[in-house]
Amino acid sequence: MKTLPAVDVVIIGGGWTGLLMAKELGTRTSLSIVVLERGGPRNPSDYATDMDELDYAVHHRMMQDFSKEPFTIRHSTGDKAYPLRELGNFLPGSGVGGAGEHWSGLCKRFVPNCFQAYSKTIERYGAKKLPEDHSIQDWGLTYDDLEPYYAHAERLLGTSGQAGNLRGKRIEGGNVFEGPRSSDFPTPPNKVPYFSSLFRDATKPLGYHPYLNPSATISQVYTNTDGVTRPACTYCGFCTAYGCMIGAKAQPSTILLPVIKKHSNVSIRTRASVRRILHDGPATNGTARGVTYIDESGEEVLQPAGLVFLSSFILNNSRLLLLSGIGEPYDPATGKGTLGRNLTHQVIVPAAMLFFEKPLNRFMGTGSVGMSIDDFDADNFDHTNLPFLRGGILRALSDTGLPIRTFGIVPQAVKGKWGADWKKAATYNYDRAASINFIGEHMAYKGNYMDLDPIYKDHNGDPLIRMTIDWRDNERRMVEFMTGKAVEIGRAMGAKEITPYAGLKRYEGTRYQSTQIRGGTIMGISPDVSVVNTSSQHWRVPNLFVLGGSTIPQGDSIGPTLTLMALTLHAADAVVNRYLKSPGKLV
Amino acid sequence: MMRRRQFLNLSVSTVGGILVFSVERNAFGMLPRDKTLRIPLRFFDENEALIVAAATSRIFPSDESSPGAKEAGVVVYIDRQLAGPYGRDAHRYTEPPFEDGPAEFGYQGKASPSEVYREGLRKLKGFENLSTADQDNALKEIESTHFFSLLHRHSIEGMFSDPIHGGNIDMVGWQMIGFPGPQMSYFDDVDKHFDEAFRPKPANLQQITGMKVVPSEDEK
């Protein structure tokens, strides 16, 4: 194995969090920084011709190559696990920018209550209300701790939206349930497409509080704090699964790479696939020495480094730590160990499919623009007499018009999925059907976790990560409740026919929900219940930091991109202002 | 071993006399109705192509009001996909053991899409000569198979993917449902047309970008 000259910092994975950390350290220090990205390089010009639903959204041109490394999955510890042989329920990106290149651009802060989900639940309802096998816990930091970093992240992205709570003052039209924000959105809200406008006009008289989603597909030309200028979104509809061909959507390639490239102390090595984090001392204590990776030519090389940031895809963060023997693997039988625990996803279902008389022109929109209500999110409503805890968001999005994946929606009376009657009904309803979507919290449970698969291996011969995950009654009852609300809203919107969601059954590996898996290396108040502290520093290995969705203790409703950027900026401050001055445990 | 070059011979009247693209994706132009169209095949032999053309036409039939799989050239689309990286499972995890699992975890078989088709079509020998009613019955019998689910999925893909992939000839699929294809901007329209169908003139990716596009099936 070849050994390269040592660098100060190695960053594993060049997605949102890895590149943001590279930008922060690269611009604020003179440290030598190497980003190792296992996919290829990216240029904004790569997306000039990507408006092809087949190659991008169906064949997943921008995603992790499952032929080399997929994940395995089972519903519970007693079951056999199967590989997810094709991409399905989530879509990890590959290449510089990672999933940040193909995200939808939904850009919302978490509600304050989310950070203290455990203590706030106990306070309001008592411990008995929690499901017996739950494992939710507080983050150890609060919304107020993170607020300045949220504001910073929004200025970087140029987020479009209308404030609903400016320094404690509630503002109608914005999301009145949001935490107090120190500053307004950098750019005004986006335009409102037809279907979303129907949702807005129907929910207001019902007493709800509709708002337009905050979005990184910006409403007007914007120059951010780093001097990066982006054009206004044109609502072409090719966002989720695509890179933005004009760069209106904030992507790592448009807002981070141009800044990084100006700093010679940062280099990005592509097609560099990390296999191990090297580590001195026992598994539960010690120092990271660097990493080994397979380079573009297929050779395994050792890159020594003084400081290691692990910022690969959520599940791969746990996998690399397990393969490297760093930390204590979680054991669901005893509840001991922390690495791999609290695997959560997001509950996303078409709560009510609505059929209208008029065409909706729904090919116009963006991945994130749409009207939402948070009246049933988090603990914004009283659960005392409800058979579940927590909640989520009901929304009418505008990005549902591309035909390969949406053709074929027909009213319940149409039987069969092919042939003349089906074709006629599906053609008629193609632009007349759209769903009120529910996006909800997935509570953490003792039985949902990750470990290494004992059978299936990747193309290097390393074990795959195994997900053990299923829904519980809390999610099923939540979806049932929200379906009822969605049907009520659908009627008020004037739908001539409504198909309610049939109900949540088992967790599916084939149905795309979101790429927002969470957990495995969660953040918390002590090494007994978490892998990293609130500065994203590994409890046992102080020169190792873990970034990304793997640090989120339990599922939130909205999706964590903005929060992950805020957490990364928060960690960067801890590193620059404290760790570098006095390396060691940050408490 | 090089296989003998295979062609799908279709009378132009069956493809509606519409604009047809060559393998190089240049339009042949509007073909006269009395001609026979000779489409070079990449994966199917002629017999297989006729079965696929007939079967996808039952899944997505033509009728008096709109075109179907036949006019859209769905068989050409599928032929190219099966000959390309998708057909040989270039992006699927194909390590053993292969064991049937719960439906929630997806197809666990060993056979690649091209192998699934070859086997599935062998069992449909003579399908193209059956009456449409018998064809429907034959399809109903295989409705729960993996082969049929691929045929169904690929019919939709061939109807509505960019014409660069060989189907959706002359954007007939898009025109049928009112989808305008990729467009650079709806900035002036997205918050208007609330009471009417807004139907911009469809365009395909090459027309919109003016750039050469390499579809995945042509990648090495």
SS (H, E, C) A240-256: CCCCCCCCCECCHHHHH
At residue A459, the pLDDT reads 94
Kindly state the percentage of chain A with pLDDT values over 70: 100
Phi and psi dihedrals of A265, rounded to 5?
-80, -5
Residues 6+ apart with CB under 8 A from A81: A72, A73, A74, A453, A455, A456, A466, A467, A468
What's the average model confidence in pLDDT over B75-96? Answer: 96
d(CA B60, CA A438): 32
* Residue-wise pLDDT tens digits, A307-348: 999 999 999 999 999 999 999 999 999 999 999 999 999 999
What's the average model confidence in pLDDT over B10-16? Answer: 55
User: Which chain B residues are closer than 8 Å to A51 by Cβ?
Assistant: 182, 205, 208-209
The b/e string for A353-387 (b: 16+ C-beta within 10 A; e otherwise) is: bbbbeebbbbbbbbbbbbbbbbbbbbbbeebeeee
At residue B26, the pLDDT reads 43
At residue B33, the pLDDT reads 54
- Rounded mean pLDDT of chain A? 96
CB contact at 8 A, A544 and A288: yes
User: Which chain A residues are closer than 8 Å to B197 by Cβ?
Assistant: 358-359, 361, 431
d(CA A324, CA A337): 16
Q: Is the pLDDT of residue A508 over 60?
A: yes
At residue B2, the pLDDT reads 57
Kindly state the percentage of chain A with pLDDT values over 90: 94
Other CB atoms within 10 Å distance of the CB of residue A540: 22
User: Which chain B residues are closer than 8 Å to A86 by Cβ?
Assistant: 91-93, 106-107
Cross-chain Cβ contact A61/B216 below 8 Å: yes
* Residue-wise pLDDT tens digits, B99-149: 999 999 999 999 999 999 999 999 999 999 999 999 999 999 999 999 999
What is the ipTM metric for this complex?
0.95
At residue A514, the pLDDT reads 86
Q: Is the pLDDT of residue B60 over 80?
A: yes
- Residue ranges of domains in chain B: 7-218
SS (H, E, C) A470-506: CCCHHHHHHHHHHHHHHHHHHHHCCCCEEEECCCCCC
At residue A512, the pLDDT reads 86
Predicted confidence band of residue A587 (pLDDT cuts 50, 70, 90): confident
User: Which chain B residues are closer than 8 Å to A85 by Cβ?
Assistant: 92-94, 106-108
In single-letter form, the type of residue at position B121 comes to L
Q: Is the pLDDT of residue A511 over 90?
A: no
Cross-chain Cβ contact B99/A80 below 8 Å: yes
Chain A to chain B Cβ contacts (< 8 Å): 183
Give the single-character DSSP code of B81: H
d(CA A535, CA A553): 14
Give the single-character DSSP code of A575: I
Predicted confidence band of residue B19 (pLDDT cuts 50, 70, 90): very low
d(CA A474, CA A118): 15
Predicted confidence band of residue A281 (pLDDT cuts 50, 70, 90): confident
At residue A350, the pLDDT reads 96
Q: How many angstroms away from the CA of A283 is the closest CA of chain B?
A: 31
At residue A154, the pLDDT reads 98
CB contact at 8 A, A403 and B174: yes
Token pair in block for residue A209: 């509080």
Q: Is the pLDDT of residue B31 over 70?
A: no
Question: CA-nearest residue of chain B to A398?
Answer: B190
Q: Is A408 on the interface with B (CB under 8 A)?
A: yes
For helices B46-59 and B113-122, the axis angle rounded to 10 degrees is 90
Q: Which of A304, A290, A270, A283 is nearest to A544 (CA)?
A: A290
Q: Of the candidates B63, B161, B178, which has its C-beta nearest A404's C-beta? A: B161
Q: Is A336 on the interface with B (CB under 8 A)?
A: no
Structure pTM?
0.96
* Residue-wise pLDDT tens digits, A166-216: 999 999 999 999 999 999 999 999 999 999 999 999 999 999 999 999 999
Classify strands A33-36 and A7-12 as parallel, antiparallel or unpaired.
parallel
